[in-house]
Amino acid sequence: MRLKRLKICLIIMLSVSLVCGSAIVKAAASNSPDVPRIDSVVPLEKQPHKSDADTIWYDDFNHGRKKYAEESGKLDSKQAFGNTGKSMHCLYEKGSQGKGNRKVFFGDSPTGGGSVVRKGEKFDEIYFRLYVKHQHGWTGGHPAKLARATSMVTSGWAQAMIAHVWGGGGDALTLDPASGVEGGTIVTTRYNDFSKLKWLGNKPVSKYPISATSESGYWVPLECRVKLNTPGKSDGINQLWIDGRLECERHHLNFRGSYDKHGINAVFLESYWNRGSPVTQSRWYDNFVVSTKPIGPVVCPANPVLIRMPYYGPGKLAEWEVQLAGDFDGKDVVFKSKALKQPKRVKIDKNAGTFTGSLAGADKLACGKTYYARVRQKSTTGVWSDWSRWHQGFVVSADGAAKKKIKPDNGLAAKFPGDKGIEKDPAVIFASGFEQGFEGWSEYRENISVIVKDPDIVHSGSACLQSTATRGKDTGGDVVFDLPEPVDQLYLRFYCKFHKDTVMPHHFVKLRARPKNFWGNAGKRPPGDKAFWTGIEPTSKRTWHFYTYWHKMNSWQNWGGLPNNPPDGDGRSFYGNTFTPDNQKPFEREQWICVEAMMKANTPGKSDGEQAFWIDGKKIGHWKPGSPVGTWSKDKFVTSGSLNKDPKPFEGFDFRLVDSVKLNQIALQWYISEGVAERGQAIKNIVYFDDVVAATEYIGPRVEN
């Protein structure tokens, strides 16, 4: 009896132990942060696919709408791969089938009108790639439709074949190829003529659950291959890669029988959810490419920037770690970060961690190689998450697109890595990275110009300047530095970054020569014995030019630069003369740009004044006696196009009449008039400045340690 009771007690104790143990495991699990992912990497702006001869179609959704034969759904500037530009938005309102599609026709398509690209060519094999992101917390499984490649054979959209990328049930994707041919005859008569299609097999489905809630909130690359069969044979191929891994494939396919009049000639991006979304939610597409050869992931520099998805879990983010490997099994780990405090992004270099494995001792990733990331995070409760799987592959540019090292004779900054101690150089007049706030600056406007210390925003160090112009309230303001001793030649280098929603300003950064209480008036020439100035300014096309005032400037009112009511005009005859270099590429918002401007005063009585500017260390324009060759067209000096009617060497600048007028002020100006503000959608138009240096010699971009 006593033995029986002991057994019962032991059973009860074991049961309690198991229950408690389970509870402890669950409690520990609930106390762990979510397993994070790398949301995206910052790709090179110039992706090789964009200009590759094998590319049929390229759309990164960043440079306006491309001409699709059919499209619906907006472009979203709040979600984009690499946190720059835009993406295609698929919106699923509760109970709806979804909004958002793009249809591109190419080659020998008999439909699509004037939007058919690579018209007349025939394509028997293509690859197409896109990046997909599901809203964090996505629920309900995978919508039925995502993408398809097809062969259109009539203007009424009869189809010889379709290679569907569809929901495979639950959270998976699958391939569901189909044929619209019997023997050598087209049997379909319209689009999606399902009853006449021969379905070639939709199993197995992907192992990766792309639409699972646990996999939501970050960008995932998909690539699909479609190869038509040789007419009369069953050797067609259909394959699908998800996040760099081959997930589905179909071989020995008979897509088209012996039919050979049309190839693959269309790819559609879709969002249709047959049964409707259970809640209102979104997903996005980006970096869409169609090519005749394998595409792969985006291309990055050799010291890429990785962006982590936001933190989810108990407490707050304390720190995180990331590792890179040369394979998605993690056999060759080539980089291990230290504990990272910045919440969202990291640049892969020796400052952030250690290169290991096959890259031990290196300072950058190997060119032409593909790398994968894994990441984990620690909460303020002291608990680490599990490591993520290896994911978010990227290719390092084969031309070694890491920052070029600047030789010491290329600028003052090359002698001071990280700009440390640059203020001690005798040629430097002033330097500020805003770590000490507005210390050293002469004036600024409170609430318009503020110091921010968000590590995801600053260019370097711990702080930068944010200037804001609020539509309907103000037009922005200046942050000004008055030189202690005026100079005849001044270089100003600064870094700037434009918020993704901002319009380009009415006026921007200034180099000035003027008495303290002389402001000058728009529409009037400044007296030659008092003032001259120039502005280095972004244009509405996101290129750069000079906007310059001096006593011999030209008028916009008449050819030859003569004003109405000469010689002084009618009070509005003279606005800044513009000097715009040719062949500039538009810059991107949300990226730091190194801008440097130089102004050199003339010898009184001579026209030997100069001005020049550099972008990211490259000289873009230089106006001096004898160069460039161009024509004055009213108030613009043009060097190309129909207005360049009588090209002559530039005469140089006669900025001043007396030697006492010298350069004595710089201004980080952010002026957005109401008219300019109304061109955009933002209420607050924002720009950031950092790493400002003024000197009497060329400065050049910062050089990292």
Instruction: Please check whether residue 534 is in contact with residue 547, taking contact to mean a CB–CB distance below 8 angstroms.
Output: yes
pLDDT exceeds 50 at position 5? no
**Mean pLDDT, to the nearest integer, of 191-199?**
96
pLDDT exceeds 80 at position 404? no
Question: In Å, how far are 48, 83, 365, 444, 606 from 396, measured between CA atoms?
Answer: 11, 19, 7, 42, 52
pLDDT exceeds 70 at position 25? no
Of residues 455 and 652, more confidence is placed in 652
- Residue 489's SS3 state is strand
pLDDT exceeds 50 at position 505? yes
Of residues 374 and 568, more confidence is placed in 374
| Least confident residue range of 30-44, 110-124, 238-252, 404-418 | 404-418
Q: Output the average pLDDT for the chain.
A: 92
For residues 494 and 133, give the distance between their C-alpha atoms in angstroms, rounded to a whole number.
35
Partners of 238 in beta bridges: 226, 250
Cβ contacts of 11 within 8 Å, gap of 6 or more: none
pLDDT exceeds 60 at position 20? no
Q: What is the pLDDT of residue 46?
A: 85
Q: What is the pLDDT of residue 30?
A: 61
pLDDT exceeds 70 at position 635? yes
pLDDT exceeds 90 at position 410? no
pLDDT exceeds 80 at position 554? yes
HSE, CB side, 13 Å, CA atoms: give it for residue 638: 13
Q: Which tens digits make up the pLDDT trace of 96-108?
A: 999 999 999 999 9
Q: What is the pLDDT of residue 366?
A: 93
Q: Which tens digits make up the pLDDT trace of 476-504?
A: 999 999 999 999 999 999 999 999 999 99
Partners of 159 in beta bridges: 152
Q: Which tens digits make up the pLDDT trace of 128-161?
A: 999 999 999 999 999 999 999 999 999 999 999 9
- Which domains does the chain show, CATH number per domain? 66-296 (2.60.120.200), 305-396 (2.60.40), 428-695 (2.60.120.200)
pLDDT exceeds 90 at position 407? no
**Mean pLDDT, to the nearest integer, of 455-467?**
94
pLDDT exceeds 90 at position 267? yes
Q: Which tens digits make up the pLDDT trace of 663-686?
A: 999 999 999 999 999 998 899 999
Phi-psi region of 157 (alpha: psi -120 to 50; beta: other; left: phi over 0): left
For residues 334 and 390, give the distance between their C-alpha atoms in angstroms, rounded to a whole number.
13
Q: What is the pLDDT of residue 533?
A: 97
Q: Which tens digits make up the pLDDT trace of 270-308?
A: 999 999 999 999 999 999 999 999 999 999 999 999 999
**Mean pLDDT, to the nearest integer, of 414-430?**
94
Cβ contacts of 612 within 8 Å, gap of 6 or more: 597, 598, 619, 621, 622, 623, 624
Q: What is the pLDDT of residue 323?
A: 98
**Mean pLDDT, to the nearest integer, of 392-407?**
64
Of residues 406 and 602, more confidence is placed in 602
pLDDT exceeds 70 at position 84? yes
Q: What is the pLDDT of residue 261?
A: 96
Q: What is the pLDDT of residue 615?
A: 96
Strands (E), 44-92: 55-59, 70-72, 75-76, 87-92
pLDDT exceeds 50 at position 59? yes
Q: What is the pLDDT of residue 520?
A: 83
Of residues 523 and 3, more confidence is placed in 523
Q: What is the pLDDT of residue 87?
A: 95
Identify the band that residue 567 occupies on the pLDDT scale cut at 50, 70 and 90.
confident
- Residue 328's SS3 state is coil
Q: Name the nearest CA neighbour of 458 among 690, 700, 703, 702.
A: 690
Percent of the chain with pLDDT over 90: 85
Q: Which tens digits make up the pLDDT trace of 323-359?
A: 999 998 999 999 999 999 877 899 999 999 999 999 9
For residues 68 and 117, give the distance between their C-alpha atoms in angstroms, rounded to a whole number.
10
